[in-house]
Structure 1
Amino acid sequence: MQPLDKSVYGPFQLYYDHALEMWCKDPANAGKQMSLHSVPQMVSYAFQKAFTPAKILPGFKSTGIYPMDRNIFPDHKFMPTYSADRPAPIPNRDEPASDSDSERRHTATTSPAPSKLDTFTSLKEIRPFPKAPARTEGPKKRKAVMSAILTSTPEKLSSQTVTISAAGPSKPKKLHYDADDDEGSQQCSGKTFGWNK
């Protein structure tokens, strides 16, 4: 048992409840709802009343910590509670067992209950751990490029050369000629060129 549980926290709760009652009965607080900001005031009142040396020191004495008292709690305090009430263990007797006791033991040993579990099955066999899928390579990272002001002349020229070199060598354009004898001129993909015949 903790000494502060016995001597301080119980009175602290009582003083806190008393502070709440006083707050509710105060005419200035009539009809108001208590807010989060008024809780520290209540706790301060209860703390100053409950956490005093006059209340703390008797807690150590009542639990047998100081001065040391091993017999502060009687044996009946260690008896099982009603919630965990179990029959007391029966010590082994050297007396001969009666006939009815031997018959009960004999019937219990001759008719064993059917076993529900003949072999042990682990949880891994029932539901194995999931296996991680093989790693797939993600998209390739882009090449790191230094930051630059793209509107400045050297950067602009270098970006144009990169664009031109990325496009590859230019192919010669093929011209399609349509002969038109009536006009005495040649048309080359929409443009008219005049010649002498």
Structure 2
Amino acid sequence: MDESGFSTVQNQTKRIVATKGRKQVGTLSSAERGQHFTAVCCMNAIGQYVPPTLIFPRKNMKKELTDKAPTGCVGLPSESGWMTGEHFLTWLKHFVKYSKPNSSDNKVLLILDGHSSHKHLSALEYAKENNIVLFCLPPHCTHRVQPLDVTFFGPLTTYYNSEVTKWFRSHPGRTITHYQVGELFKEAHVKSATVSNATKGFAATGIFPFNEDVFPEWIFIPSETTNNEINSNNSLEPVEFMESIPSNSEPISSKTASAEPMPSTSSTQNSTVNYFDEIHLKDKTVNDNLSYEK
């Protein structure tokens, strides 16, 4: 399961169809800032979906908000419009209704991220009592190992923005409120909640069928920056990167090296100041020309 935020206005249009050669191309969009809401979705490895849950930023819930929403959809009010621990407990009860984990021999594995709302004590106790095993994904990697993020939320967002654009064209001069998003979200959810998207999501992440080599080696290269050795004092020692030095070169001592900078010269006609330094290293003169812009 995972959550994703949506708005009552469409995002920036990516593609616009127009005749070739036109210099100005326009599209219909809303001038309003829009109001956000949260959609909670869940799917399994064989292409089955739990009816979504919509969280609206309001104190009291009205049934009219979910009149034309997807079948079985649940609406929840929230002052912020985002998931909280209490809402996650309510969603778990909605999840048990469709997953039906009956006994200890028929447990359900629920894969989710490490958001604080998923660690609410009452929700954890309810999951344990109802034979739900919660598996929390590591941080900063859900874009790779969360099936919903890999193959579902992308098409869902695209279809939802398309439905919002169609609504604006058929209702000129009007704005979308939370009372219309249920119908618009339903059309987008029907198009994106396919068996193919669900099965491909679990296969692309290596969860089912299980594939531990699903990710190539180059994906793990950024994590090498945190591979620091631990010394006897349990403190981290940063890895030092040293450039290769030719075998015939001699080490330079700080005592034998001396620097004698020359006074700088400036010109009123040119804004560039040139510095000329002569550095004597073991009877050898190295000229270092540096140029600095004012």
TM-score range, shorter chain: 0.3 to 0.5
Higher relative contact order (CA 8 A, sep 6+): 2
Q: Using structure 1 for the length normalisation, give the TM-score.
A: 0.41
Higher strand fraction (1 or 2): 2
Q: Using structure 2 for the length normalisation, give the TM-score.
A: 0.28
Higher helix fraction (1 or 2): 1
